[in-house]
Structure 1
Amino acid sequence: MRKQVFSGLGQVLPLNMISLAAGKAARLKLPGTLGQPVCSAFVKAFGIDMSEAERPLEDYATIEDVFTRKLKPGVRPIQGDLVFPCDGILSVSGPANENSAVQAKGLDYSLAELMFGDNVPPDLYLSWFATIYLAPHNYHRVHSPIQGDLKTIRYYPGELWPVNKPSVRWTPSLFTRNERLVFDIETPHGVLYLAMVGALNVGRITTPFLTDFVSNGRLGQARQGPRSFELDRTHRIVPGQELGTFMLGSTVIIAFDEALAKRYRMDHALSSRPVRLGERLS
C-alpha cells in the first residue's frame, strides 16, 4: 500500500514546479544586509561546516551560494587512483545483477536504464555499482573518481522525487524516474559511468563541460526529451577533477563495466558509512 501511495503522490504533486520554485528562492538576493542572517541561519539549521569553505560565510549572498560553495585547497586530498566522487553517505554498493542494482529491500532498478535511458547498448554489462546520498549539510560538488577520457554527457529529464530514506524505501524505480546527468569516463581498463541524480528541491544540476546547460532551468524543459552531448574535444580528467554541481543535496550513482570492475577487483559490497571526496574507493 505504501508503495502505491508514494507512487500516486507523484501524479498529484507538481514536484518539478516545486523544485523550480525552491531553486528560485535559494537564489534570491535579499536587499541590504538581510541576506547574511538568512545564510547564517541556514548554516546553523543544517549544521554546515563552513570552516572548510573556500570563503568566509559573509562572502556568500544567497542560500544557493552556500550550497554550491567550493572547498579550501587541500581539505579533500586525493588518496588513490580510484576514489569516492563526493561527500555523503554510502548507502548501497556491491555487484550488479544483470545490469540491475538494489535501491532498497525488494526494490531493484535497471542500472542500464539509469545510464542510457531507452537506448541501452546491446553489449552493455555493468557488474558493480555504488550509491552515495548527499545530505543538505554536505559539500555539493561532484568530482571524477578516476582518470580517463570524457567524451559524452547525457541528460535525462524526469521527475524530482525526494531521495531520503522513506522515499527510497517506498518509491519503485526512484532513480530511473528522476532527472539525471550521466558522464561516461573511458579508461584503458574499461568504462566508469557516473550519474548525478536530481531530487525534490534539486531541480538544477550544472557541469563546467556544458557552459550553456542547466537542468530543470525552466518549465517545460522536460518536454524536450533526453539529450546526448558529444563534447567538442576529449577531456582527459584526473581523480578529483570537478564534474558538476548540485544546487541542493541529492544522489550520485557510479557503475563499472565488467572489465573495469575486474581491474579494481570490485566484486564485493562496501559497508554503508559516511564517505568523503578523495577517499580510496577500492
Structure 2
Amino acid sequence: MTDHPAPRLSERLFVALQHLLPQHGLSTLMHRLARIQWRPLKSLLIAQFARIYQIDMTQAVEPDLSAYPHFNAFFTRPLRPDARPLDPDPLVVLCPVDGRISQIGPITTDGRLIQAKGHDYSVRDLLGLAPGADHPFDGGRFTTIYLAPSDYHRIHMPLTGDLTGMTYVPGRLFSVNHTTAKLVPGLFARNERVVCRFATEAGDMALAMIGAIFVGGIETVWAGAITPPHSGRSLQHVAHENGGQSIHLERGAEMGRFNLGSTVILLFPRDRVQWDPGLAPGQKVRLGQRLGMRR
C-alpha cells in the first residue's frame, strides 16, 4: 500500500493547465486590472471580493469600501493597530502574516525543507545562492505559511533585525495552493521570489516572499515594488542603497506586502529557535501570534 495516493485527474489537469498558461502575462494583466481607478469597475471588483470572501472591514483603518481608489489599495489595506496585537514577550518569534501553515519543522542537516508529503527541496535553491555560497540554515527550523485571498496581505517582522541582503530570483508563477505543492517538484524554489536576510537576536533570519500566478506583485518598505516587471534573467541580486544608512526594522514592523496573495517561508539557523509543539500543517495563524521562542 502506498503512502501517497495517486493524484486525481482533476488535480493533474489543474497543474497541466498551469504549465500551458502564459503565467507572467496573466499576472501582469491582473496587476494592471487591480489598479484601474474607473469608479464603476473598481467599485464592482471591491464589493464582490468583500462579499465573496466575507471581509471584516471593521478591522481596517478605512472601513468604507468606496474610499479605496482601486482594488489593490483595498486588497493591501492597513489594519487598525489593535486588530493584530503582538505577543508582548520579547523572546517570542511572531507570526509575520495572516495565513495557514503549510509546513513547519526542522531543516535537514543537508539543507532540505518539506514542501508537501513526498516532496522536498533545498535551502540553497530557495535562497537563489550561487554555487559554493555558504548559508547557516542546515539543521535549522523553517515554516511555510500560505496566504489565502481573504487574508491580510502585509508582511511584518517576526523579530527585530537589520537587513543584510535582499535577492530577487526570477522564476515561474505556478499557483501555490495544496494541489500544486503536491504535484510540482521544487515549487517554491521554481517560482519567482524575493528573499530577505536579516541579522537578529536569533541569528541570521531569512524571509522568502513567493510569487504565484495572478500574484506577481511583491514589494518591500525600503525598496518599493520589486516585481513586476518580471525579469527573465536566471538570477538577479537587487543591490540596496539607502544613502549609506542601514535598514533596521523593529519586531512587528511592516517589511513588505503582496499585491494579491501568496506564500511566506521563514528560516532560522540550528539551535536558535524552537517552534511551539502545538503548531501543525493546516493550522490557521494570525499576524502577531506566537510561533515559537528564540534561544
Distance 1:102 1:163, change over 3 A: same
Identity percentage of aligned residues: 35
Contact 1:112 1:120 in 2 (8 A): no
Contact 1:128–1:257 (8 Å) recurs in 2: yes
User: Which residue is 1:70 aligned to?
Assistant: 78
Q: CA deviation at 1:269?
A: 7.8
**Kept after mapping to 2: 8 A contact 1:88/1:276:** yes
The match for 1:271 among 264, 280, 292 is: 280
Name 2:267's counterpart in structure 1: 255
Aligned to 2:102: 91
Q: Which amino acid aligns with 2:148?
A: A
Instruction: Tell whether the 8 Å contact from 1:6 to 1:170 is kept in structure 2 after alignment.
Output: no
Identify if the C-alpha distance between structure 1 residues 236 and 215 changes in structure 2 by more than 3 Å, giving closer, same or farther: same
The range that moved more, 130-139 or 102-111, is 102-111
Match of 1:113 among 125, 131, 143: 125
Aligned to 1:229: 239
Unaligned runs of 5+ in 2: 1-5
Deviation of 1:125 after TM superposition, in Å, equals 3.1
**Residue in structure 2 matching 1:141, options 125, 130, 154:** 154
Distance 1:64 1:99, change over 3 A: same
Distance 1:214 1:52 in 2: 28
Q: Within 5 Å, which residues of 2 pair with 1:183-222?
A: 183-211=196-224, 213-217=225-229, 221-222=231-232
Note if contact 2:136-2:204 (Cα within 8 Å) is conserved in structure 1. no
* TM, length-normalised to structure 2: 0.85
SS of the equivalent of 2:78 reads coil
Cα offset for 1:230?
3.7
Distance 1:120 1:139, change over 3 A: farther
Kindly indicate whether the alpha-carbon contact (under 8 Å) linking 1:60 and 1:66 is maintained by their aligned counterparts in 2: yes
Asked whether 1:128 is paired with 2:138, we answer: no
Q: Counterpart of 1:265 in structure 2: which amino acid?
A: Q
What's the counterpart of residue 163 of structure 1? 176
Shift of 1:237: 1.5
Q: Report deviation, 1:235.
A: 1.9
Q: Distance in 1 between matches of 2:135 and 2:59?
A: 43
Q: Aligned pair count?
A: 275
Secondary structure of 1:101's counterpart equals strand
Residue 36 of structure 1: how far off its partner (Å) = 2.4
Distance 1:61 1:38 in 2: 12
The residue matched to 2:238 in structure 1 has which SS? strand
Q: TM-score, normalised by structure 1?
A: 0.89
Structure-2 separation of matches of 1:267 and 1:35: 42
User: Over aligned residue pairs, what C-alpha RMSD do you find?
Assistant: 2.3
Q: Residue 16 of structure 1: SS of its match in structure 2?
A: helix
Deviations 1:75-132 (A, max 9, x none): 1111033100000001210001121111111110112211234356335333110000
Number of the residue aligned with 1:48: 55
Alignment counterpart, residue 186 of structure 2, candidates 157, 164, 173: 173
Distance 1:70 1:163, change over 3 A: same
The alpha carbon displacement at 1:223 in A equals 3.2
Q: Which structure shows the bigger proportion of residues in helix conformation? A: 1
Contact (CA 8 Å) 1:42, 1:63: kept in 2 or not? no
Q: 1:36 to 1:266 in 2, by over 3 A?
A: closer
How many angstroms does 1:154 deviate by?
Answer: 1.0
SS in structure 1 at match of 2:227: coil
Aligned to 2:66: 58
Q: Which amino acid aligns with 1:39?
A: I
Name the aligned partner's letter for residue 46 of structure 1: Y
